[in-house]
Chains A and B, each alone.
Chain A
Amino acid sequence: MALADQPDAPQSRGRLRLPGWTWRETQGFLFILPWLFGFVVFIAGPFFFSFFVSLTEWSFIGDIKWLGLDHYIRLLSADDPRFVQAVYNTTYYVVFHVPGVLLISFIIAGLLNQKVRGIAIYRTCFYLPSITTGVATAVLWYWVLQPNGLLNNFLNIFLEPLGVSGPNWLGSTSWAMPGLIIMSFWTVGTTMIIFLAGFQGIPQHLYEAAEIDGAGWWGKVRNVTIPMMTPQIFLTSVIGVIGSFQVFTAALIITDGGPADATLFILLLLYQMGFRAFNMGYASAIAWVLFLIILFFTIVQFLSARRWVYYEGVRA
């Protein structure tokens, strides 16, 4: 038995410790204390306080007026057309963004997983856009998506023979959202690297076994690669859904929700309500509805995981 496992090592007699705890346990608690403090002050406390605020009418200045569930009733009965629009837009974005990113990264990671020369160079190229996220990228894409910008320059090569030209991405209510979604496909690097690591972890003998059984290229992808990659697919889709429901920076900078609220995301509406109109109660209620939407989809994903995610050794 190692010394560390003994209930109370002799060296620790007489030291400060929590009642009923050994010195070792007390120390363990001390190590995580910074997190516990931060968690209570910056996460848990604000979390519950925000629910309280969501039940009130409050603009920082002046009194807090108790409203009860009024904000929620207004939101859930679709009484606020802008909120309905924001939910629609966000769903639109999530529905195209998440599967798109998964599919694109899966294909790229698959290509990289072949024994190619210079894999590191390609990997760098593909990952580069992902680290340049944020405002600089948003400004860049604002420029790329101009009517005479880079994307249209490229598209017009194919469109001009047909007598049409690329759309005014950001100025059109029907093209602004596709524009933002295309932009989001530019930053698939993180997902791609998670997939690549997953691909490299698939034991080679499974492919050999499949080959002996007469599986072709597609047979191997379908029966070996995809089942073995389900943990990574699951992980990235959970992260993707949580993240994309909170899409904000690009929209705020590039379109600011426009034109005519065509790219008004839930988070953007929350920001406008809370920090431009100072309607803190309503903003908090929006935050909670968004939170519940995300929670719902996360739980659905976790429940469905039992049916399709394959964990080696154990059945999930």
Chain B
Amino acid sequence: MPWLSQVSFQAREGTTRQRTLAAYVRIVVGQTFGYAALILVAVISLLPLVWMVSTSLKAFGREFLFPPQWFPNPIVFGNYLTAFETSNLARYFGNTLMIAVLATLGTVLSSSLVAFGFARLDFFGKRVLFIILLSTLMLPGIVTLVPTFVLFRTLGWIDTPLPLIVPWWFGGGAFGGAFFVFLIRQFMLQLPRELDEAALVDGASYFRIYWRIMLPLSKPALAASAIFSFIHHWNDFLNPLIFLNSEEWRTLALYLRFFLYTEVGGGAGLTRWNLMMAASVVMLIPVLVIFFSAQRYFIRGVALTGIAGR
């Protein structure tokens, strides 16, 4: 019966068309709403930062004008110069940079070494040790704050950058450092085992395999670790607060807080918000530069460890 199949075909086509029309309307409405929501969230995310930059370029006394002045008039680039001239900002910048770079170097080198051991070699107690390593991530670092202070005091390291650097040279031995071992191990586990076995047959030592084969191949994970580590140390506040007292080793984070306190303590109306925001922008710039130049490693790193939580 050819006509029957014809009819049913038409009927089917009719319903399909209706469905697509309804779906189309739904998609348009949904997308418009979706885009509006996305743009709103993006604006909320960025406004405070824009406000920060804008304030840093305003003349003193014009920070609280109402309605808010998004585009400063006049634009005072000199605020940045003043921020550097009226304080040792350059020195604090250098201190922070040195600490962050050295701690990051240690983190990447030592964490990858330990990660390689956990990813590729077998030895008695490996599983238990790895669980212990992971459990240090769950442990609040605060518990050991007092004793580590005592330890570094005994070593005479207080008021030197050593407490902020040395623990990070022991692959995940510092609090929170296990995160990097975990990240790099997860990545190394994905690399084909045939590579190191072939090298073993050729007589390469494990250290050579680590250094010449695994390390170059793990570059994305190392990059992600380096970026996370650098930003962590750059932004770190609690540890410098506890281990550094003198002006000599002051970091940007400590300086900003010190600045805020002296300014706000100076009485209402005298707070130089523009200079404070300029100093804050100076502190944010390296982080932003790294973020924008290495964003894909960032996102991958978060996703890699996040999914690994399964």
Residues 18 to 41 of chain A near chain B (Cβ within 8 Å): 21, 24-32, 34-39, 41
Q: Please state if B303 and A193 are interface contacts (CB–CB under 8 Å).
A: yes
Q: Can you name the residue of chain B whose Cβ is closest to the Cβ of A280?
A: B146
Q: Please state if A38 and B122 are interface contacts (CB–CB under 8 Å).
A: no
Q: Please state if B167 and A42 are interface contacts (CB–CB under 8 Å).
A: yes
Chain B CB within 8 A of A96 CB: no
Q: Please state if B147 and A53 are interface contacts (CB–CB under 8 Å).
A: yes
Chain A CB within 8 A of B121 CB: yes
Tell me how many residues of A have a C-beta within 8 Å of chain B: 98
Q: Which of A37, A201, A249 contacts B170 (CB 8 A)?
A: A37
CB distance from A240 to the nearest CB of B (A): 12
Q: Which of A77-85, A86-94, A136-144, A172-180 binds B?
A: A136-144
Q: Please state if B171 and A34 are interface contacts (CB–CB under 8 Å).
A: yes
Q: Please state if A274 and B146 are interface contacts (CB–CB under 8 Å).
A: yes
Q: Please state if B280 and A31 are interface contacts (CB–CB under 8 Å).
A: no
CB distance from B41 to the nearest CB of A (A): 6
- 0/1 interface trace, chain B 107-126, chain A, CB 8 Å (1 if under): 00010011011100111101
Chain B residues with Cβ below 8 Å from A31 are 113-114, 116-118, 121, 206, 210
Q: Which of B5-13, B78-86, B194-202, B218-226 binds A?
A: B194-202
Given the contacts A3-B201, A37-B173, A193-B299, A32 and B167 also touching, CB distance less than 8 Å: no
Chain B CB within 8 A of A212 CB: no
Q: Please state if B114 and A32 are interface contacts (CB–CB under 8 Å).
A: yes
**Whole-angstrom CA separation of A138 from B257 in the bound complex:** 9
Chain A CB within 8 A of B189 CB: no
Q: Please state if B121 and A253 are interface contacts (CB–CB under 8 Å).
A: no
Given the contacts A21-B123, A27-B121, A132 and B256 also touching, CB distance less than 8 Å: no
Chain B residues with Cβ below 8 Å from A139 are 256-257, 260, 276-277, 280
Q: Please state if A126 and B45 are interface contacts (CB–CB under 8 Å).
A: yes
Q: Please state if B172 and A38 are interface contacts (CB–CB under 8 Å).
A: yes
Chain A CB within 8 A of B309 CB: yes
Chain A residues with Cβ below 8 Å from B197 are 2-4
Given the contacts A4-B196, A136-B284, A111 and B116 also touching, CB distance less than 8 Å: no
Q: Please state if B173 and A41 are interface contacts (CB–CB under 8 Å).
A: yes
Chain B residues with Cβ below 8 Å from A126 are 41-42, 45
Q: Which of B55, B133, B280, B295 contacts A136 (CB 8 A)?
A: B280
Binding site for A on B (CB under 8 A): 30-31, 34-35, 37-38, 41-42, 44-49, 51-52, 55, 64, 66-68, 110, 113-114, 116-118, 121-124, 126, 129, 132-133, 136, 138-151, 153, 167, 169-175, 177, 181, 196-197, 200-201, 203, 206-207, 210, 231, 234-238, 241-242, 252-254, 256-257, 260, 273, 276-277, 280-281, 283-284, 287-288, 291-292, 295, 298-299, 302-303, 306-307, 309-310
Binding site for B on A (CB under 8 A): 2-4, 9, 11, 21, 24-32, 34-39, 41-43, 45-47, 49-50, 53, 60, 108, 111-112, 114, 116, 121-129, 131-136, 138-144, 146, 148, 150, 153, 186, 190, 193-194, 196-198, 201, 231-232, 234-236, 238, 242, 245-246, 248-249, 252-253, 267, 270, 274-275, 280, 283-284, 287-288, 290-291, 294, 298, 311-312
Knowing that A37-B170, A46-B144, A287-B142 touch, tell me 18 more A-B residue pairs with CB under 8 angstroms.
A3-B197, A11-B203, A25-B124, A32-B118, A35-B110, A35-B173, A38-B172, A111-B38, A135-B237, A141-B48, A150-B47, A150-B48, A194-B307, A232-B307, A274-B145, A275-B149, A283-B146, A287-B143
List 24 A–B pairs whose Cβ atoms lie within 8 Å, in order of A's numbering. A11-B203, A32-B118, A35-B170, A35-B172, A38-B170, A39-B136, A43-B144, A50-B147, A125-B46, A127-B298, A135-B254, A136-B280, A140-B277, A150-B51, A150-B68, A193-B299, A194-B302, A194-B306, A197-B303, A232-B306, A234-B309, A235-B309, A245-B140, A246-B140
